[in-house]
Structure 1
């Protein structure tokens, strides 16, 4: 969403280390806030819970957090894309009073779908005990709320408050989670305590959103008719949201249902050689991704807005083409440079993988998977960065097909490589590599044909 650029630009343009660090830190939370909180909280609780909980209970807690995160991402990705399109259009039209209605409607839909999805997974498929199932259900709802809130946080531009909200929530998750476990409530108590911290983060973000966008509340008796009247802004982006979330998790689902998986309790599966290396690899791209977010929401946004201003003000074809060429060249150079930096970081981490495995307590046979995951994450970064640019200029069909490509390649590659245990993780690497290169090529093509995209594809008068 274009709204976050103003404050980030103000910070990143100041010529001092503190301001640039703050811009990067805020960008990390804007782009990956819930993911960072969940992974950090999970790691801290895992360390602090060792002397308190039985190893099996601790593993159950970790698996359910991962399951909750995966399910919430699949549920909220299409909703977040939809509300981002709606709110961007509303803010452009300066109809600020409509934002609250969109947010509350999205919040209601997210809650209902998370509740239904959680009940199907935790009680229907896995058949958890009542207490543990309810704790997992609360967790998936709270994570879903956080993902939705992040789609609106970009527009409120109160980054100190947002950062404080996540820091406070993470602290409370650790405190309440360990307290519940130490009082003898087991893994369900720790999971419930962890969810309390997520709830605190969401409540702060919810307050900021409602305060920033005041407006009339819809009476409850009118809500069903209002929801029935809502039609997706773009079915393409809605489908792309579902596919993108599935593409990220499909390899884990396949590995969890293979011989690599280990069962903990009834229905709870995890892969000790695969899960931790993959999450560590994802974590390795966050710093560079945050820098790219700052650039995307400042320099790229300014250049793209200038291009649109020239178009809307009736600029000459030469002026439009000159700005498009400048925008394309700057974007291609920035994304490729960021990829090279990330690839270097991933290569260095792959070299010291034995040390990292020892530090994290991973088994020896997970080192090869960690190395593959780190290299794959670098190309996954290229894929995400290129898709981000494509999404920014609202080329929905290209974005959808790229997500479908990664989903198919990730699923097929993972399933194929599982035939040989030594090749575990190679399917993800090949899928990320092919998808990243093709997404980069698609981004270059999109920027090269931006005039056609602007005047024809995204022009309602032409496309209908």
Structure 2
């Protein structure tokens, strides 16, 4: 995510935005293949008591979510915050309605409803990206060349997220605080709900922060940056 955002920002600065869409396609192909290869054996062997449909849906959800993360970072890096908000609202509305309508299928129905909403969300993002960055080709792997790749940003992103999720794993897998859900998946009632509520409480503050960044700070920063570059 971080390396690709840097790649997109650099190409925009160089006025070579025709390279962005093909490399987004390349990153998407790579993410789809890797996430699929990771999810396939995990779903097949770690959930022996579940139906084949459940395993297929689990694989599909993991692949789609992995691509949504890339698309979300891409759109946020390109400053399309309103589009992200509307697409997430649409996607999760379909998720909730789909899960309610398909709940007669039990767990498979709930997971299918979730997948329908996420596919809608990803499809909307892809439409925005393709419309916003036209190009002659669809897939390119230029980003992974030595000239454009930033391994340090990949390590930063990996270790940052590992640190963010470390406490969750401790609560989930410690017998005193965690409990089994499905297969190897675990949850922590005393931890997950308070953290979920805290995330909800952060949303208004994050919204105000983004608006201020986009209206006040960016304008001043752009003027300062242009002055430095142009000898002001």
Q: TM-score range by the shorter chain?
A: 0.7 to 0.9
Q: Does 1:279 align with 2:196?
A: yes
Unpaired runs of 5+ residues, structure 2, are none
Counterparts in 2 of 1:245 and 1:119: CA distance versus 1, 3 Å = farther
**Aligned with residue 171 of structure 2, among 245, 255, 258:** 255
The aligned counterpart of 2:125 is: 205
Q: Number of residue pairs matched? A: 229
Deviations 1:370-425 (A, max 9, x none): xxxxxxxxxxxxxxxxxxxxxxxxxxxxxxxxxxxxxxxxxxxxxxxxxxxxxxxx
Say which SS state the counterpart of residue 264 (structure 1) adopts. Answer: strand
Counterparts in 2 of 1:160 and 1:234: CA distance versus 1, 3 Å = closer
Segments ≥4 residues shifted beyond 6 Å: none
The aligned counterpart of 2:98 is: 176
Q: Does 1:292 align with 2:209?
A: yes
Shift in Å at residue 196 of structure 1?
0.6
Shift in Å at residue 304 of structure 1?
2.6
Unpaired runs of 5+ residues, structure 1, are 1-79, 316-464
The aligned counterpart of 1:313 is: 230
- Which has more helix, going by share of residues? 1
The aligned counterpart of 1:230 is: 145
Say which SS state the counterpart of residue 273 (structure 1) adopts. Answer: helix
1:284-363 matches, within 5 Å, as: 284-315=201-232
The aligned counterpart of 2:65 is: 143
The aligned counterpart of 1:166 is: 88
Say which SS state the counterpart of residue 102 (structure 2) adopts. Answer: helix
Say which SS state the counterpart of residue 269 (structure 1) adopts. Answer: strand
Cα pair 1:127 1:267 within 8 Å, conserved: no
Shift in Å at residue 283 of structure 1?
1.9
Q: Does 1:94 align with 2:15?
A: yes
Deviations 1:346-381 (A, max 9, x none): xxxxxxxxxxxxxxxxxxxxxxxxxxxxxxxxxxxx
Shift in Å at residue 263 of structure 1?
1.6
The aligned counterpart of 1:107 is: 28
Shift in Å at residue 104 of structure 1?
0.6
Q: For 1:202 and 1:238, how far apart are their aligned partners in 2?
A: 23
1:378-457 matches, within 5 Å, as: none
Deviations 1:70-113 (A, max 9, x none): xxxxxxxxxx1111101111111111211111211111122122
Deviations 1:46-93 (A, max 9, x none): xxxxxxxxxxxxxxxxxxxxxxxxxxxxxxxxxx11111011111111
The aligned counterpart of 1:245 is: 161
Shift in Å at residue 155 of structure 1?
5.7
Deviations 1:128-175 (A, max 9, x none): 633222212211222222211112223665655443322221221112
Cα pair 1:156 1:209 within 8 Å, conserved: no
Counterparts in 2 of 1:313 and 1:158: CA distance versus 1, 3 Å = closer
Q: For 2:19 and 2:172, how far apart are their aligned partners in 1?
A: 43
The aligned counterpart of 1:83 is: 4
Cα pair 1:169 1:200 within 8 Å, conserved: yes
Higher relative contact order (CA 8 A, sep 6+): 2
Say which SS state the counterpart of residue 183 (structure 2) adopts. Answer: coil
Q: For 1:204 and 1:228, how far apart are their aligned partners in 2?
A: 24
